[in-house]
Amino acid sequence: MKNQCLFYLLALFFCITGCGKKKNERLAMNYYQLSSMELNKKTDGYYRQALLYLDLALKEDPRPEFLARKATILFRLEAYDESQEIFHSLLRSKLSSDIRDEVLNNYACLLAQQGKNQDALKFLNDLVRSKNYLTPEVAMVNQGKIYMEMGKEKGWLLKPAYKIF
């Protein structure tokens, strides 16, 4: 009887510890969708609210897509160091090619914002040539923005000879 009771207690213990906090993918996806809705609102504090929902999603399920969005929002909020840290950890991890390319595009934007234009252009050039990147035109537009900024800094841009009404 004593051994049988001990057996049941041990079984209960292992069940409880083995059934600890499991990730709740559905709840995480709901928080992620709430984050998306906040980003679409574009009202005061929408980045911060989206970030709150994302943190809740990440507690339930630390998916690379969620982390990538967090890094991008932090970049938009000018928390460059934290954003860069997340981008680096994502790029060191094993990612699907589509997520990796999206992360690289956003990371290149962060680098450009920090004045590291040559590094940013290198990543963007790789994306333009990538057969897996679904939107190379986005990388091209980002390249154009960097070249415009570089031209402004060096005084290369000329004023238009005509006025647009």
Buried b (16+ CB within 10 A) or exposed e, 32-49: bebbeebbeeeeeebbeb
Assess contact for 59 and 22: CB atoms under 8 A: no
Query: What would the pLDDT profile of 16-54 be if each residue is shown by its tens digit?
Result: 444 545 579 999 999 999 999 999 988 888 999 999 999
Residue 159: the pLDDT is 59
| Residue for token pair 């996806």 | 29
pTM, to two decimals: 0.76
